[in-house]
Structure 1
Amino acid sequence: MTSPGQPPVDDRPASQRPVVIGASVVAVLLVGAVIGMFLTQLALRDDTSSATPSAGSVEVGFAQDMSVHHLQAVTMAGWERDHTTDPQLKQLAFDIESTQREQVGRMKGWLMLWGQPEQATGAYMTWMSSDAGHEHMAMAPTTAPASGSDGAVMPGMATNTELAKLRSLSGTELDVYFLQLMLRHHQGGTEMAQYAHDHTSVPAVKALTQSILTSQGAEMTLMRGMLTARGAQPLPFP
């Protein structure tokens, strides 16, 4: 029996009390997990279920083509990172490789959720010249035929011959050529991202394209400065 003003004594065996406390903690964690899953489902519904992009849409075409475009940048950046001796170039290459690899994973995840193939089955870039349910932007298709393109199937992409040249260089020549190829690659990629940004109504796609425009815009400014410091000029961009 307890005195007035004193907390009641828990006369249960000590071995039982921690079990009750542990069960309470588990219950709180379960409630938190349920709330988290509910909020996640709401976010996914807002981005996908309300208007799931279909084949031929700007969103699907962008995710498919930009994944291909990004993967070449990942390849070039990985080569530069492993073969340059310049710390500034090594850091730039690492940043490009890690950022674009993560973005490819995100776009491929969208395609899976939308029930679409990871790669387009027809010509590249057709989503930039069709209405696809969005406001039309008058422009000619920016496609490149698979035959005779030497691997450069989209704007800014390096040809197989250019990639072979990149792998044959070393030292300052390697760094300069990497900067030239990657700057041109970014120019092509930002054109694609700008079109998708202007023509999508899907929040996730809008956010990613804005991120691409911001990060690659800053990297292009940096690369132009690095080329100037090395006495070199950018490659022509059609």
Structure 2
Amino acid sequence: MSRARLSRRSLALTAAAVTLGATFYGVGAATADNSVPRSDKEIPNLTDVVNEIKAYYGDTVDASGEHFASADSSYARQLAGIEAKAKSDLAHALHKGGHGAHGGHGKPAIVLDVDDTSVITYNYELEVGFNYSPASNQAYLDSKNMPAVFGMDTLANWAADQGVTVFWITGRPEAQRADTVRNLTAVGYKSAPDTDHLYLKNSANPPAYLTCGSTCTTIQYKSGTRAHIESLGYDIIGNFGDQYSDLSGGSADKSFKLPNPMYFLP
């Protein structure tokens, strides 16, 4: 997920069931409605929405005031269903050997987004009132680790045990590489998030395989990076993200949408 352009980031106050093809499995896409409300009655009450988000995540608070999602929350239960489906599909692709509908025959791989796909930003979002800024995000990452998204560490580790190579593609800037590596390792991801397997956005010096250079949209950046991974001899049998912009653009046999009602990123 990309946080680079704050002006395009918004709290997702609505969710719409959007069908983007049979390769997607998960939940409805959060959408940003650009229409102008004609009355205050057309606008969800922000306090109510935040309380609903807390209830969905099963908000728990520790002695130091840190907020965490609960393992028995609706969020965790929804994740479990998506992950069970994903594991079944990945196992089937590996057993079949053809690696999915596109018939890829490269080395099997999966791609994970980082924020709210591999690690959960819930505590950070509450700390900043869902008002992301690069400075507050960097300060948080410098001092804290975000917990693993329920079940995703287990799923990624299971895939690695089956001989699947795990990659990460994130919209986090290159400057956050050390924080990201530390966090992923600390919360239980066993695959090495090294420079060959963890891709961060480098706007100052974009890689040559991204023809859009420093002007890439999220979809161009992520799909272009997946295409690059495939050019290295891999077949991406599963692509995981919490935003549809993580998943669009091809270069994956199957994609899995994880729930995230906290914000929408185009």
User: Which TM-score band applies after superposition, normalised by the shorter structure?
Assistant: under 0.3
Q: TM-score, normalised by structure 1?
A: 0.28
Q: TM-score, normalised by structure 2?
A: 0.26
Higher relative contact order (CA 8 A, sep 6+): 2
The structure richer in strand per residue is 2
Of structures 1 and 2, the larger Rg is shown by: 1
The structure richer in helix per residue is 1
